[in-house]
A = this chain, B = another copy of it.
Amino acid sequence: MAEATARRRARGTGGGAARRAERTSTAVETAKFIERNIPNFEVLTTEALEIIEHNAETVLEEIGVNFVNNPGALARWKEAGADVQGERVRLPRGLARSLCATAPSQFTQHARNPERNVEIGGRNLVLAPVYGPPFVRDLDGGRRYATIEDFRTFVKLGQMSKWLHHSGGTVCEPTDIAVNKRHLDMLLAHMTLSDKPFMGSVTEPSRAADSVEMCEILFGKQFVSENTVLTSLVNINSPLTFDDVMMGALETYAAAGQACIVSPFIVGGAMAPVSVAGTLTQVLAEVLAGVAYSQLIRPGAPVIFGAFVTSIDMNSGAPTFGTPEAAHITYGAGQLARRLGLPYRSSGSFCGSKLPDAQAAYETANSLNMGLLSGVNFMLHACGWLEGGLVSSFEKFVMDADQLGTLHHLAKGVQIDENAQAMDAIREVGPGGHYLGCAHTQANFKSAFWRSEVLDYKPYETWSEDGARDTVALAQVRMRKLLDAYQKPAMDLAVEEQLNDYVARKKASMTDSFT
């Protein structure tokens, strides 16, 4: 005990805060982001990749992209050597790719708890929760519009989820707060209820600026000017259109050295060609233009090659998830991102199902597996997504978050040291024997297998006596357990007060807007 106290003092942490931090770190275990020790799965040949890259340059050169309502962007492009006609920007072959070269291939996103910092890029995979749904669903209450209380509950669940490295952004839309004020409450929740990294607002350039200012309170102004503390989601209005709202956010963040995911938002057959190769061509053209633009704002600004891709049910026009075509695009886009030297964002707990049922789980498992194997570096929507992204599901959040453990274990690859070879165990047990009691099993079983915290492994009879619960019912139990055990991570009270003041002051300065 004395030694532990001494070490704690030696690190220079204050007594009370340190003790709180220690309690918290016991209760809340967070896995380190995934460092893959397995290969990526690649579906495109080098020849196919070169054709797609050639075609993407042709798209940029011949067809070009639109930068809408954004005279500043048009001027920057002209200055950089593009052919600008009206809002159409055509890029000479190679220009975008050469501008992309200043973007880092990997960067650190800092969390207020440095143990939660994430490295985005390389062979890493960082997992962040669902983003954007206006509705929530739970087993007892059904489907309803999301509120800020729901939002806070999701942030707490994220903080308590071992396999989740990131607190995310709009885990659901707090529809009970005015549209122009929501971002303040959302950021406050991420900053105070979690100590994992988080995302900034992109719905208005001024809200992006607010996000940076709140980070300056949380991390200190100097720290924010020198480090990345926000990764935010900038969607491209596919096909080939960059709107002023999203670009305004990108400009704000890039100028502040904060990271953006530059992400085509594509339902194949609607916003991109119905073929995989055609979709990849458009995705690459859009990312090249968007990332190049970020580097015009500030060379070296951290950016992520994004690809939100799904296919379409041609009978109903509904987007479909976990499909083989989405997998092909996700694998292929990963190859394109690596050739471009950029971190890659794709995949998630995607599903079209209305309920957290078997459909949801098939589609989600298909998506999560392809996300791991395609080399994704930042996986948004890694848990909690339901109904094509219209709903954040509380039970599915913990079900998916549990499955994320399988990705961690898969990514470890196969050990081949002497202990793993287990020749002594095979000798000890011999033909017809049993391994449960042998020395090697006893020494290794604790770390050998991933173990679910949600799923049922009981014998049939016990399971029946316990109420014959399905996965959703088990997830509800798990969710309540996590929320009961939740502890607000320790925080400097003065900082928290300043954040509260900032939010109150900003809100007081605005009239409610619900559009």
Please, could you name 20 A-B residue pairs with CB atoms under 8 Å apart, sorted by A? Answer: A65-B431, A239-B429, A240-B430, A240-B432, A269-B435, A270-B434, A273-B426, A274-B435, A275-B420, A275-B422, A311-B448, A314-B449, A315-B451, A320-B449, A323-B449, A325-B448, A353-B456, A356-B358, A357-B358, A359-B474
Once the chains bind, are B271 and A435 in contact (CB under 8 Å)?
yes
Q: How many monomers of this protein are in the complex?
A: 2
Say yes or no: is A2 at the interface (Cβ < 8 Å to chain B). no
Most chain B CB within 10 A, of A274, A332, A373, is at: A274
Say yes or no: is A440 at the interface (Cβ < 8 Å to chain B). yes
Contacting residues of chain A (436-479) with chain B, CB-CB under 8 angstroms: 436, 440-441, 444-446, 448-452, 454-460, 463, 468, 470-472, 474
Q: Measured between C-beta atoms, what is the minimum distance from A417 to chain B in Å?
A: 8
The chain B residue with its CB closest to the CB of A68 is B432
Which listed segment binds B: A25-33, A247-255, A402-410?
Answer: A402-410
Contact for A449 among B312, B357, B409, CB less than 8 A: B312
Say yes or no: is A302 at the interface (Cβ < 8 Å to chain B). no
Once the chains bind, are B415 and A66 in contact (CB under 8 Å)?
no
Once the chains bind, are B440 and A278 in contact (CB under 8 Å)?
yes
Known: A362-B364, A410-B328, A470-B355. A316 touches B457 (CB 8 A): yes
Task: Give A361 to B474 CA distance when docked, in angstroms.
Answer: 15
Which listed segment binds B: A14-22, A41-49, A181-189, A209-217?
Answer: A41-49
Say yes or no: is A413 at the interface (Cβ < 8 Å to chain B). yes
Say yes or no: is A241 at the interface (Cβ < 8 Å to chain B). yes
Say yes or no: is A421 at the interface (Cβ < 8 Å to chain B). yes
Once the chains bind, are B406 and A323 in contact (CB under 8 Å)?
yes
- Point out the residues of chain B lying under 8 angstroms from A272, CB to CB: 435
Once the chains bind, are A431 and B241 in contact (CB under 8 Å)?
yes
Contact for A435 among B239, B426, B471, CB less than 8 A: B239
Which listed segment binds B: A51-59, A115-123, A166-174?
Answer: A51-59
The chain B residue with its CB closest to the CB of A444 is B274
Known: A276-B420, A277-B420, A361-B361. A269 touches B441 (CB 8 A): yes
Known: A271-B435, A355-B470. A62 touches B332 (CB 8 A): no
Residues 270-300 of A, flagged 1 when their CB comes within 8 A of B and 0 if not, give: 1111111110011000000000000000000
Say yes or no: is A354 at the interface (Cβ < 8 Å to chain B). yes
Say yes or no: is A495 at the interface (Cβ < 8 Å to chain B). no
Say yes or no: is A39 at the interface (Cβ < 8 Å to chain B). yes
Task: Give A183 to B314 CA distance when docked, in angstroms.
Answer: 45
Once the chains bind, are B361 and A359 in contact (CB under 8 Å)?
yes
Most chain B CB within 10 A, of A269, A332, A446, is at: A269
Contacting residues of chain A (295-322) with chain B, CB-CB under 8 angstroms: 311-318, 320, 322
Contacting residues of chain A (309-356) with chain B, CB-CB under 8 angstroms: 311-318, 320, 322-325, 327-328, 332, 352-356
- Point out the residues of chain B lying under 8 angstroms from A483, CB to CB: none
- Closest 4 interchain pairs by CB? A278-B422, A365-B365, A361-B361, A324-B409
Say yes or no: is A401 at the interface (Cβ < 8 Å to chain B). no
Task: Give A23 to B264 CA distance when docked, in angstroms.
Answer: 47
